[in-house]
Amino acid sequence: MTEPAPVFTGGVDHERLTSQLRFILETDKLKRILRRNLLVDGSRRENDAEHSWHLALTARIFAEYAPEGTDIDRVVEMLVLHDIVEIDAGDTFVYDSEGAATQAERERAAADRIFAILPEDQAARTRALWEEFEARATPEARFAKAVDRLAPMLANWHTEGGTWVRNGVSRAQVMEKVKIIAEGSEALGAYAAALIEDADRRGYFR
C-alpha cells in the first residue's frame, strides 16, 4: 500500500508544492525508459535519465566550444528537460523512419500532459524551453542539440559500431546528424566528422 503523503505547512503554498512534487515523482519514470544506445563499456543499454544527466555534464565541460555568448545555464536546463516527453512517447531511434513519422505528434501530446503538472509559471517556462530545444532556433538550442547528437556517436564508436552495426546504418545517414552538430558548434562538428571518418575505416557502417 502506498504511504500517505506527509502533511506539511511550513509557510509555503501547499498547492504549489504538491504540484511540484507530483512533477518530480512523475519524472522519476524517466529512469525506466531505455534508449537504443549502450553504455560506453557495452555492458547494457542506457536509460533516459542517465542520458539527460550526462548531456548536462557534457555541455558544462564543452562550454568553451559553444558560440560566443551562449548561455550554458540555459543549455543545461534544456538538456535536463528535453527527453521528459519520452515518459509517454517512448524513445524513438534516430534512424527509425517509421517511428519518426509519428514522433512529433506523440511527443507534443506528452508535453501537453507532463509539463502541465507543474504550477502555471513553471509549466510555461519548461514547455517553452522544450519547444526552443526542438526548434533549434537559438544558439543555446543548437548547442544543446549538438551535444545530444554527439553523445550516441561517441557511444557507438566505443562499442565497435553499436547501434550503427546492429541496425545497418549507413555513413550518409550518420553524416546528416553531423550537420546538426556543426550547426551548434563548429569545433564539435569537426570532431564528429573525424570520428565518422574513422568509424567508416573500421567498417562500422552498412
Domains of the chain in start order, with CATH, are 14-36+44-201 (1.10.3210.10)
Residue 3: predicted pLDDT = 52
Residue 9: predicted pLDDT = 62
- Which three cell numbers, joined as nine digits, stand for 179? 550537420
Burial class (CB in 10 A: 0-12, 13-18, 19+), 89: buried
H helices of the chain, where? Answer: 14-27, 48-61, 72-81, 86-89, 97-114, 120-135, 139-158, 162-166, 171-184, 186-201
Residue 1: predicted pLDDT = 39
- Which three cell numbers, joined as nine digits, stand for 203? 567498417
Residue 5: predicted pLDDT = 61
Integer Rg of the chain from CA: 19
Q: What are the pLDDT tens digits along the chain (206 aa)? A: 345 466 566 678 899 999 999 999 999 999 999 999 999 999 999 999 999 999 999 999 999 999 999 999 999 999 999 999 999 999 999 999 898 999 999 999 999 999 999 999 999 999 999 999 999 999 999 999 999 999 999 999 999 999 999 999 999 999 999 999 999 999 999 999 999 999 999 999 98
CA distance 172 to 176: 7
Q: Which residues have a Cβ under 8 Å from the Cβ of 134 and sit 6 or more positions away?
A: 107, 141
